[in-house]
Chain A
Amino acid sequence: MSLLAFIDRFSFRQILSAALILAITFAVPTTVFLIIQQTRLYSSAHKSKLPANYELVKEPFGQPSKRPPQIDYLRPFLGKVDDVVFIFGRDFGQNPPSREIYFGGVKAHEEDILRWHDDLIEVMVPEGAVSGLVKVVDNHQEGVSDWPFIVYDETVKTRVFWQVPAGVGQGNRLMVENGWAVARAVAVTSSGQVFQASLKPGTAIMPLVENLPSRDLKSLVLYDQNGLLIPFFVNPLDFGF
């Protein structure tokens, strides 16, 4: 009996079923075999543990300045403990060995000083720092900032922000939230213009300083009725830092 005659004895349905059954019968062991092969292949991978390698690069000490250091401004004008601050100015010396920085009378540790160039110091606000003037000492010569640096923490509720949008025909307006104790505000623009305003506490949100020509501030300071500094915070997004 020929193959064709043998096959023709079965109906199409039987052929279809037989083909499917045989296909699956073939596929199952083949699949299992292939999977076992793949598993063996992948399980041959090994792990290696490399020792941790730490390297601390310190900039070499240079020469102190011959003139007393002069602080132009701090950027930003406020921060928390361990926040980085840039001190811009001149005659700081080139990474001098004898150097000190004070935040409101609290000295920064050597490890808080990240960079010390003649015109720029990068420093972290030291533990225990309080709002106040910043002092830079280079080889026993000192320079003090014109405006206080504000130190705040998580407990501070007073927030300063820009009114958005500014009123028609008006300059930029600074607003304060929860500024019940604020009696006076001083804003210094990037061009050095000083704007002062006296406040009569009334509402939770009120205008602080108005008609500012730009939103680029060098400094912003709030005082209470006794002339003491009031810590506050701002949204860095609004103040460009």
Chain B
Amino acid sequence: MVENEGARTGSLGEFFPGNQSPLSSDSFAKLSPPYGRVTVETGINKRALLKLLLFLTIFVSVGVASTVSVTRFFTNQVYLATKKVLLRTPFKNTVWQTFGSVPEAEIELILQTPQGKITHAFLLDTGAVVSSLPREMAEILGYNLAFLPRQTFKGFGNTLSFAYQGEMNVFLGDKFRKLPVVFTEATGSKSLLGRKGLFDKFTLVVDHRSQLVEIRE
């Protein structure tokens, strides 16, 4: 019993150094309530701060995020509707050994074939009179080259070759539209989206800031 009392007294003595008399366990109990209130008030403040922080975080993040996203969505919709944008596609950057990174207006279009819809990549070429596809595509689009009108096609470097004139059904906006196309013998080269049927019926926008190409009605 004495040993226990001494041990408790000794431990309290660490809190009351110097010549202050050590406290008994009963005296300590009397001091407890004030210490307990301080702890509780600190806890309340922390909790209140946490609630305030939570409130602000949710208010700001949800408010701003929803405003931005909804505004952006509707702005985009309004933009597409008012500008009559039929197709919007980002630039594709190609790294050339000599020129470094060069943006290319490569547009993926949905084409209608007898077998169904297919996606085909075209390079927007304002220098091309008419859109062109490799000859192999003629059969896929349901044409027999032998019965298509044949004409000459002047390519890069004024090289002359034969081309076969047809039409392709391209999905633009909300429906398929007919665009004139020639099937050329340039196998392996990129298909081109040329001026005929495009420049005279649609508006094209190449926007370097947004890195987008648009085809508008």
Contact = CB atoms under 8 A, between A and B. Distances in A.
- Chain A complexes with chain B: yes
Interface of A: 3-5, 7-8, 10, 12, 15-16, 18-20, 22-24, 26-27, 30-31, 34-35, 38-39, 42-43, 45, 76, 79-80, 82-84, 86, 114, 122, 154, 159, 233-237, 240-241
Interface stretch (B13-21, B104-112, B121-129, B145-153): B145-153
A15 B51 contact: yes
Interface string B33-71: 000000000001101110110111111111110110011
| 6 closest cross-chain pairs (CB), A and B | A19-B58, A4-B48, A23-B63, A8-B48, A23-B62, A83-B150
Contact of A83 (B45, B47, B58, B149): B149
A204 to B, nearest CB: 18
14 contacts: A8-B44, A15-B51, A16-B54, A18-B55, A23-B61, A23-B62, A31-B70, A38-B75, A42-B83, A43-B82, A235-B144, A236-B145, A236-B146, A236-B162
Given A38-B78, A38-B79, A31 B71 contact: yes
Contacts of A76: 162
Of the listed residues A5, A8, A10, A122, the one surrounded by the most CB atoms of chain B closer than 10 A to its CB is A8
A26 B66 CA distance: 10
Most chain A CB atoms below 10 A, which of B44, B51, B58, B62 = B51
Given A5-B48, A19-B57, A235-B145, 19 more contacts: A4-B49, A7-B52, A15-B54, A16-B54, A19-B55, A22-B59, A24-B62, A26-B63, A30-B67, A35-B71, A35-B74, A38-B71, A39-B82, A42-B83, A43-B82, A80-B150, A235-B144, A236-B162, A237-B145
Contacts of B152: 84, 86, 114, 122
Given A20-B58, A20-B62, A27-B66, A234 B146 contact: yes
A56 B82 CA distance: 37
